Amino acid sequence: MVRCESLVHIYQTGSVEVQALQGLDLVVAPGEMIAVVGASGSGKSTLLSILAGVETPTAGRAQVGEWDLLTMSRADRVRFRRTTVGFVRQQTASNLVPYLTARQVIDLPMTAAGTRSRVRRARCDELLETLGVADCADRRPAQMSGGQQQRVAIAVALANRPRLLLADEPTGELDGATSAEVFEAVRHVNRQFGVTAVIVTHDPEVSAHVERTVAIRDGRTSSEVVRRAATGADGDTRVSAVEYAVMDRAGRIQVPREYRDALALTRRVRLALERDHVTIHPDDTGATA
């Protein structure tokens, strides 16, 4: 559903260049729900804006379904944003309109897409119901809780039946219990509608709701944590989490700082191929970098 390879994005303001993404790799399978984590400024929002078709990447490859985000025309970009992706933005307030009710705001993207009114009404009811906010149908944002507002925002994003749902820190302004409720709502639509979901968060709790967490550091994917549930001989189900380093097409991987510090790995290391793994040894020639 999503394929990014060596993705680069540079923001240029006047004479200042910021390289927000510097060779990011990411693959998301259809129907998957993943979390993207990383420190502030690591490039998470930039990645989502690119996948949402809002920003055009500077270099590399980025595809969503059959759409190529680097070469698509302006008209295709409009169509892509209307039909293929749904985007929940970082600020809660920016997803809704103060003077529109939940029903009216969910209706907007469908009206823009030229959907007939009977279909719009049925879809709106289905979304309000699925997201557990049927009681908010005729309320304006000021009459809803933060969690209800975000669930309505998800309904808006899903109105035109996109294949990819993107959410940028959808729970950033919510407390723990309400956050869990919003993540569960995304999980629910992911299962019910089969929509692929990519959620940016700095909430460590979110990894409990997804099978895969991708970590971005300095504009590159540095690691992935994969969660698997396995049922043992005693019938108990245990969830194991395994951390993987991400290797790019050229074979580069990032060795975590703790590992480098522990063995004084610096500029040059020695690699050895074993039967079923590779070892990395410190430079033992006494040469200084």
Residue 43 tokens read as 């490039």
Using CB under 5 A, list all residues that contact Mg ion: 44-45
13 vs 288 by CB, closer to ligand ADP: 13
Please identify which residue in 15, 40, 73, 285 interacts with ligand ADP, judged by CB under 6 A.
40
Least separation in angstroms between CB 283 and ligand ADP:
33
* Residue from 30, 41, 176, 204 in contact with ligand ADP (CB under 6 A): 41
Tokens found for residue 145: 């809780």
Place of tokens 């940016």: 200
| Angle, alpha carbons 190-232-227 (nearest 5°) | 35
User: What contacts 157, CB < 8 A, 6 or more positions away?
Assistant: 86, 87, 88, 95, 165, 166, 167
Chosen from Mg ion, ligand ADP, none, partner binding at 38 (C-beta under 5 to 8 Å by type)? ligand ADP
Q: What is the DSSP letter of 205?
A: G
Tell me if 241 contacts ligand ADP by CB under 6 A: no
Nearer to ligand ADP, 181 or 203 (CB): 203
Binding to ligand ADP (CB under 6 A) within 18-37 occurs at 18, 20
Residue 43 binds ligand ADP, judged by CB under 6 A: yes
Give me Rg for the CA atoms of the chain.
22
With H, G, I as helix, E, B as strand and everything else as coil, classify residue 133. Answer: coil
Q: Does 194 bind ligand ADP (CB under 6 A)?
A: no
Contacts of residue 221, defined as CB under 8 A and 6 or more positions apart, other chains included, come to 24, 25, 26, 214, 215, 246
Minimum distance, C-beta of residue 239 to ligand ADP, in the bound complex (Å): 27
Q: Does 38 bind ligand ADP (CB under 6 A)?
A: yes
Query: Which positions touch ligand ADP (CB under 6 A)?
Result: 11, 13, 18, 20, 38, 40-46
